[in-house]
Chain A
Amino acid sequence: MRSVRRWLPGLLLVSPSIVAIAVFVYGMLGWNFRLAMTDKHDEISEGQFVGLTNFVELWDQPRWTISVNHAIVFTIVFVLGALLLGLLLAFLMEKGIKGEGTFRAIYLFPMAVSFVATGIVWRWLMNAGQDERAVGLNRLFDGLGLDFLQWQWFRDPDWGMAAMAIPAIWQMSGYVMALFLAGFRGVPEELREAARVDGCNEWRVYRYIVLPYLRPVTLSALIILGHISLKVFDLIVAVAGKQIITDVPAVFMWVAVFDSHDPAKGATIAAYIVLSVTVFVVPYLIWSVRKERKERRS
């Protein structure tokens, strides 16, 4: 009885949040899945249960497969690009350099700005006009005598989404740098020193001592970048609006809800976005909670 009196007030204090999360996160996810399994394809009908029909039929729509392909290309270029650039920047800074604070502040500042605002500049920079009509980077290449570098950017039918990843890399690689920098600093200096005494050159020190230490940070960075990438929305809308040429699932869902007025289709797309994030976030969460518990015990 005493012990209940001990923890009950705490539970009461947190209970509004528990209820809110239960309703707004789990309840609404469930509601969304239920809606996705009905034929409510307009705003007035009641909607009958149709099972997984919508989930299957979505794949017959060209716009859906296009947007999935776009999301895959975008994800690969963005995740790899931000990861490698962030790692490179952290590597250049890790041994301590003069003006480190300033460098960090400059690499990180894009994080503080909205995708909508940066999208406006990048739309200008990645303008598809060429030669006389060129502005942005095409004009810059032209002026530098690098005309052959001019291209259609995000309007390129094959690799447009790779161009779309550039602003996202610009925005997020500073964050990855900060994560990796913390990772580099977590490697005990004695370990590196010991390896050097044992005759390892700097390259081998990185390969066998430092890189294994960076594995958890790399995993966190992958998860963060990956889940940003799969739900990317603001950036695409700000740079290109809702054109099919740069469509991704999140934009398609928006179109399904507001332009096609098809709640069931919107819910189905949303459900797919949730599933794509869940399959790798849940194992990651379980892994990190277990790790924390193990650390607490030891």
Chain B
Amino acid sequence: MSTTVAQVGRHEAPVERSRVRGRVALTVRYALLILFVLVFLIPVYVLLATSFKPLTEADPSQAWNLPQIWTFEAWRVAWEKLSPGLWNSVLLAVPGSLISAMLGSMNGYVLSKWRFPGADLVFTLFLFGMFIPYQGVMIPLVQLMVNLDIYGDIPGLILAHVVYGIPICTLIFRNYYVTIPDELIEASRVDGATMLRTYRSVILPVSGPAFAVVIIWQFTSLWNDFLFAVFLTGPQSWPATVLLNNIAGAQATPYSQQMAAAILASVPTMIVYVLLGRFFMRGLMAGALKG
């Protein structure tokens, strides 16, 4: 009897100790995670707080305070200045991402289910296209577009984004289609269906998630792009990023307007992120090969 008690006692002590240690570790975990959340949100606070401040509160001594008087004035001015760019970005990103998704879907289908000799080599060469720094093609691209007389306008910019988006879109669709059983394609083939018919009746109906991932990926990269836009567009066709950079770069623009404009330019992608974050995540993981 006494031995049992002693044994139980001896066993209980370490269990108790490790439970306490586990609880401490968990608390530290949460504390650190919450600390990082606060650090990550500092820029968000600054954006919001500053954008609602009237000019009278622009003094450095009040830099971190919430506005005493909340005003939409900066937002109104920022909207006026930025709206042409926002509209250009819509005209760029919506058609651009849809065309990219269509192309990527067909390429991915062929490269996973209707392979031709050399398909692997083609795919590898595509992949490299994903990594090239676009600076390396920019000067010839400008030259070509000038020669073709499509320089400085939105269609030319869409063309560039669609072409340089082929690799990533193809990759995402191919990796998605690989999971569809080959037997389905074979069955369709045996029934005498052509390649395009099989695409329409077998592949397309199950492609929804991949389309969501690619459209979101391309929409975000087209909306946020600055490099292509700054090289390929002129004042009439500047998308939101270029216009935003010009507005914020002007010394005379007060901080409140800069911040309001920055928020306005980020709203569409933020909405996409909040509503469709799940697909955004998947695009990121598929793009683990790309930045």
Q: Is the CB of A270 within 8 A of B138?
A: yes
Q: Is the CB of B288 within 8 A of A121?
A: no
Most buried by A among B60, B119, B166, B231: B60
Kindly identify, within residues 146 to 195 of chain B, every residue whose CB is under 8 Å from any CB belonging to chain A. Answer: 160, 163-164, 166-167, 170, 194-195
* Interface mask (A110-133 → B, CB under 8 Å = 1, otherwise 0): 111111111111111100010011
Check if B289 is an interface residue, CB within 8 A of chain A.
Answer: yes
Most buried by A among B30, B107, B245, B249: B245
Residues of B within 8 A of A278 (CB): 132
Check if A52 is an interface residue, CB within 8 A of chain B.
Answer: no
Most buried by B among A8, A24, A115, A274: A24
Q: Is the CB of B140 within 8 A of A31?
A: yes
**Distance A135 CA – B195 CA, assembled complex (angstroms):** 63
Given contacts A10-B110, A233-B227, A273-B133, contact A238 B248 (CB under 8 A): yes
**Distance A143 CA – B258 CA, assembled complex (angstroms):** 24
Q: Is the CB of B135 within 8 A of A270?
A: yes
Q: Is the CB of A24 within 8 A of B137?
A: yes
Check if A28 is an interface residue, CB within 8 A of chain B.
Answer: yes
Q: Is the CB of B136 within 8 A of A270?
A: yes
Check if A97 is an interface residue, CB within 8 A of chain B.
Answer: yes
Contact of B135 among A8, A273, A285 (CB under 8 A): A273
Check if A140 is an interface residue, CB within 8 A of chain B.
Answer: yes
Contact of A133 among B60, B106, B122 (CB under 8 A): B60
Residues of B within 8 A of A263 (CB): 139
Residues of B within 8 A of A121 (CB): 43, 46-47, 259, 262
Check if A49 is an interface residue, CB within 8 A of chain B.
Answer: no
A contact patch SS = helix
Given contacts A112-B269, A139-B60, contact A7 B224 (CB under 8 A): no
Q: Is the CB of B103 within 8 A of A17?
A: yes
Q: Is the CB of B135 within 8 A of A139?
A: no
Residue of A nearest to B133 (CB): A231
Residue of B nearest to A11 (CB): B116
**Distance A112 CA – B276 CA, assembled complex (angstroms):** 11
Check if B206 is an interface residue, CB within 8 A of chain A.
Answer: no
Q: Is the CB of A125 within 8 A of B245?
A: no
Q: Is the CB of B195 within 8 A of A9?
A: yes
Q: Is the CB of B114 within 8 A of A10?
A: yes
Given contacts A111-B284, A121-B259, A178-B281, contact A92 B32 (CB under 8 A): yes
B contact patch SS = helix
Contact of B244 among A10, A116, A134 (CB under 8 A): A116
Residues of B within 8 A of A29 (CB): 132, 136-137
Check if A228 is an interface residue, CB within 8 A of chain B.
Answer: yes
Residues of B within 8 A of A7 (CB): 114-117
Contact of A14 among B107, B226, B280 (CB under 8 A): B107
Q: Is the CB of B33 within 8 A of A274?
A: no
Residues of B within 8 A of A212 (CB): none
**Distance A65 CA – B289 CA, assembled complex (angstroms):** 30
- Please tell me which stretch of A53-61, A100-108, A150-158, A189-197 contacts chain B, meaning at least 4 of its Cβ atoms lie within 8 angstroms of it: A100-108
**Distance A59 CA – B50 CA, assembled complex (angstroms):** 44
Check if B277 is an interface residue, CB within 8 A of chain A.
Answer: yes
Q: How far is the CB of A203 from chain B (nearest CB, A)?
A: 12
Q: Is the CB of B120 within 8 A of A140?
A: no
Residue of B nearest to A285 (CB): B127
Q: Is the CB of B135 within 8 A of A250?
A: yes
Q: Is the CB of B245 within 8 A of A238?
A: yes
Check if B23 is an interface residue, CB within 8 A of chain A.
Answer: no
Listed in ascending order, the chain B residues whose CB lies under 8 Å from chain A are 26, 29-30, 32-33, 36-37, 40-43, 46-47, 50, 60-61, 63-64, 103, 106-107, 109-111, 114-117, 119-120, 122, 124-129, 131-141, 144, 160, 163-164, 166-167, 170, 194-196, 220, 223-227, 230-231, 241, 244-245, 248-249, 255, 258-259, 261-263, 265-266, 269-270, 272-273, 277, 280-281, 284-285, 288-291
**With contacts A14-B107, A20-B163 known, what are 8 further pairs, Cβ within 8 A?**
A13-B196, A103-B33, A112-B270, A113-B269, A113-B270, A224-B288, A274-B132, A282-B128
